Structure 1
Amino acid sequence: MDRLPDEILLLIVDNIYLHRDKYQLLLVCRRWRSLLFKSVNQNVWIKGNRIRPLVLAIQGNPALGSAIKDLRLHWWSSYTRKKEDHDITSVLPLVAQISQAPGETKEWGDALKEGNQDAWLGLLLLSLENLVSLDMHYTRRPNFLRRVISRAAMREKPLDTKPVLQRLEELHVDASDDNKAYFPNIDFLPFVYLPSMRTLSLDSVIESAYTELDHQAFTASRGTSSTMSLSFRGHSNGSKGMAEFITSCANLERFKYRHSNQAIWAEQSISFRPRAFYSALCSQKHSLQVLHLDDREELTGMEIDEEGPNEPPHNWLGSFADFTKLWDLQVSVANLFNFHMSDRVPRVSSLKEILPRSLKRLHLGRFQNSQLELERFPHFGQLEIQSRFMRLIEQDSGPPLTIKQALTPLIDACEDAGIQINIILW
């Protein structure tokens, strides 16, 4: 084993799944420990009760903090459920560095002594100068976390000379196991302004919860963020089209959103508002490449916006013909095509009026009973149609048709054009 080249040892570590097995390699000999220390500690996965021990370990060995690039944090809280009495002597210099006033120093010190996980998490982030990816559960009102993130985002003293979170590229917030969770969108705006941030993937973000935070980092600033990918997954509700996130980006390339009518559990339901999303996305016509909007077609307990006399229908997105780099579009049929009864807005008569020439993939969800005209696009190679329409389709004359029979002209046209077509019934 002593003769194994360094490259082979590093490959072995990369292919070991369990962290506890990786740590055993550090005990083999001094050479292995020296070589593998950064690789073994690059990815750390902890729960809330391990935040304080990790901070103290880094205080004793700063090289550990420098090695961590990927932190996964699950099951932590901003509330102190059981007060303890910890010795915080070793971390007091760190508290002094981040605090801006004596009162804040005392507040932070008291919370640390009691074992508040939010307070200890704030100190942990101050110690991870090379952090690239943060994957975490979230919690309500994390005041100490907000304090660190906002000051790091604005390079505000005393963090103007420390590389705190300046290398962070990805934030993933997972709330998939709690369908009652909701977090105000304003909580995550500071992450958008971190200089290396590229990807935000968030669960349970809502725009209707009013939270006032008196700091510049919690205010949108148009076209200033380097973020390139935004994803709002399960249980999110963007009543304003997530406009603050979208318009803050200078060159947004990917936007994915899955709507839930439930904004606040058993208190507030708001329907999908495609026009709000479209208005915000128009600021990214020059850069947007991938757009997925899933409204899930929920019908119960929702507020529906009233249409003004000169406004397009509330469920219509608008034309994407000017989105010059868009190649992957996934939306519902009703949101893409202008299927309305009023004559105040001209109907869509051709795909070339709403689809860009750059399009390669089109996924149409919620397809029911409409014929589509197929235009030829230079890069268009795949068409997916999703439908709940399981019943036979009646005709003015002749027997009723199945969905595939009704779409025969479209299927034939796709085959002639060399386009792959998939019809998904669900």
Structure 2
Amino acid sequence: MTTSLPNDVLLLIGEHLNQQDRWNLLFVSKHFHDLFLPFFSHSVALHNWHGTLSFIRAISKRPSLARAVRQLDLDAWKSRSVSDDERAQIRDSVQLRDWLTAVSDSEDDRLQWRKDLQNGFGDPWIALVLPQLVQLKRLRLTYASNTPFLDRLMQRAVNPKTPIDGRPILGRLREVSLRHQEDLDRPKNQDDAELEDRSSPSSSSLILPFFQLPSVQTLRAESVIDPSSGTSGTSEDEENTEEQWAPGFSSIKEIDLRSSNGNHGMESLIASCADLRSFKYQHTDAHIVSHGYQPSAFYRSLTRSKNSLQTLWLDQHGDHYPFTAAGLNQTHDEWFGSLAGFVALRQVRIRLPNLLDIRYQNQPSTPLVDCLPPTLETLYIEGCEERNLSMLASQLQTVIKNRQAKVPQLHRVDIEGAFHDDPSDDSGHSESSPNECPESMIKDKILQAAEPLHVDCLNAGIELHLHDRMCSAPTEVSW
């Protein structure tokens, strides 16, 4: 079969076809087979060393497949044992030998790399495949506490003087998702000094280089210990790298940190962003080096981005312990500060004690109407206790009355708290656990307390939603 259309036009057509239609095109002719085959490597998922070895062999034979990869998913990486025969295959593989020569720094490095490949560890396999994907745009990665090969690769990636095969490493990467899993694919009974610090994961050493890559715009990560805190276990080299950072050098626009601890408001990460538009943070006191949640530290850090920040989620369903590494946890209810100066902010999700300064009083020291940004569109308030609902409803009613002058674009308000009504037996004891709540859970008196606010919202054209997250299927009441 012949066609008068140039390949570029055919490829543009292929981008608008579904996967089945593209598959059918492979069998039209040899020309179509060679042309459209790379579409099937646009998105690649690797789950263990065995699949990665097969992938490396495939792209070694057809380099165009490697150039076609845009998304790499390593999120589901699992351990897989290596037999003696498979170790021999890895040791004798020509493709691995040639590529190891290209990526390793020395003969000793190459020997150690090959040894760890034969053990099936994820770190050396992942560090081996990443430099080959020169067009990679999205990366999902699960990693362990000890990642020597990935760490060295990322240091080379941020240094323009150390390319591989004359090509920059991860130079087109735009989105990164990092998930920490303690000692991934390492035997639990392994007597290894590398695993001594099992209870103090710090993804900072792996995260920091992504801020230095030229094209990355979105970074999501878990278990991040604030690299600004000096308690994350960063090495002297990492500290020196931090000191060399100039404010606003990073292209990252979106940061999403889960199960993390920002003792100093993630200052070094936020300050590095020239145009930060979205910041989402979920706090936890679970890490051994954790300190209590300090919203005011985030206020100081985020003030740098008050002219660009459009989305702010703070402490979304975070974990707070009575005691932390610093002792008695006395700061987790601290006021964040007024958001009025954040002139681009559209979406806010925040706990009530951090939105309003009500820790020692029934009424906030600064009214809510004076704390909100003028560009606000949606407001989600977490952690509202029943005793504070009437106060919050009154504050929101004042906001609605002054909506045109203060927040003319506000169109949705969500309030979340422990509002459910547990069913009880005749003796007054609850018959259900928190995960077995009935379908109708929000107390009548909660609905009655919120009814005047509902009426004002209805008249103003604002959606009002009440949530209770205590159940496996969170309850929501929407008027």
Instruction: Note whether the superposition's TM-score is higher than 0.5.
Output: yes
Is 1:421 paired with 2:460? no
How far apart are residue 113 of structure 1 and its match?
5.5
| Equivalent in the alignment of 1:225 | 250
| Equivalent in the alignment of 1:318 | 337
* DSSP 3-state at the match of 1:140: coil
The structure with the greater share of residues assigned to helix is 2
Asked if 1 retains the 8 angstrom alpha-carbon contact of 2:200 and 2:287, the reply is no
| Equivalent in the alignment of 1:238 | 262
Q: Deviations over 1:176-202 (max 9, x none)?
A: 999x99443232111111100011111
| Equivalent in the alignment of 2:38 | 38
Q: 2:18 aligns with which of 14, 20, 25?
A: 14
| Equivalent in the alignment of 1:292 | 313
Asked if 1 retains the 8 angstrom alpha-carbon contact of 2:151 and 2:205, the reply is no
Asked if 1 retains the 8 angstrom alpha-carbon contact of 2:299 and 2:337, the reply is yes
* Number of residue equivalences: 405
* Identical counterparts, % of pairs: 28
Could you tell me how far apart the structure 1 residues matched to 2:321 and 2:116 are? 43
How far apart are residue 282 of structure 1 and its match?
1.3
Equivalence map 1:4-403=2 (5 Å): 6=10, 10=14, 14-16=18-20, 26=26, 29-49=29-49, 50-76=51-77, 84-85=87-88, 86-112=91-117, 115-159=120-164, 161-174=166-179, 182-207=201-226, 209-212=232-235, 214=237, 219=242, 221=245, 222-233=247-258, 235-264=259-288, 270-296=291-317, 298-303=319-324, 315-341=334-360, 347-368=364-385, 369=388, 370=391, 371-372=394-395, 373-374=398-399, 375-376=402-403, 377-390=407-420, 402-403=445-446
Could you tell me how far apart the structure 1 residues matched to 2:327 and 2:271 are? 25
**Which residue identity lines up with residue 274 of structure 1 in the other structure?**
P
Q: Which runs of 5+ in 1 are unaligned?
A: 392-399
CA RMSD after TM alignment: 3.8
* DSSP 3-state at the match of 1:149: helix
Could you tell me how far apart the structure 2 residues matched to 1:363 and 1:139 are? 34
How far apart are residue 118 of structure 1 and its match?
2.2
Q: Deviations over 1:252-306 (max 9, x none)?
A: 1011112233125xxx664332222222111111110001113526454542979
Asked if 1 retains the 8 angstrom alpha-carbon contact of 2:220 and 2:256, the reply is yes
* DSSP 3-state at the match of 2:282: strand
How far apart are residue 63 of structure 1 and its match?
1.2
Asked if 2 retains the 8 angstrom alpha-carbon contact of 1:254 and 1:291, the reply is yes
How far apart are residue 224 of structure 1 and its match?
1.0
Could you tell me how far apart the structure 2 residues matched to 1:22 and 1:237 are? 46
How far apart are residue 14 of structure 1 and its match?
3.0
Asked if 2 retains the 8 angstrom alpha-carbon contact of 1:361 and 1:383, the reply is yes
Q: Deviations over 1:113-163 (max 9, x none)?
A: 555442232221111110011112222211111111121123242459413
* DSSP 3-state at the match of 2:38: helix
**Which residue identity lines up with residue 41 of structure 2 in the other structure?**
N
| Equivalent in the alignment of 1:395 | none
**Which residue identity lines up with residue 10 of structure 1 in the other structure?**
G
**Which residue identity lines up with residue 57 of structure 2 in the other structure?**
L
Identify which range, 235-244 or 373-382, moves more after superposition: 235-244
Asked if 1 retains the 8 angstrom alpha-carbon contact of 2:144 and 2:180, the reply is no
Identify which range, 246-255 or 381-390, moves more after superposition: 381-390
Q: Deviations over 1:389-419 (max 9, x none)?
A: 457xxxxxxxx98223323443333333332
**Which residue identity lines up with residue 276 of structure 1 in the other structure?**
A
**Which residue identity lines up with residue 142 of structure 1 in the other structure?**
T
Q: Deviations over 1:348-406 (max 9, x none)?
A: 33334211111111111112222313231221121111121457xxxxxxxx9822332
Q: TM-score w.r.t. structure 1 length?
A: 0.81
Q: TM-score w.r.t. structure 2 length?
A: 0.73
Identify which range, 212-221 or 312-321, moves more after superposition: 212-221
Name the CA shift for 1:8/1:378 in 2 (closer, same or farther; >3 Å). Answer: closer
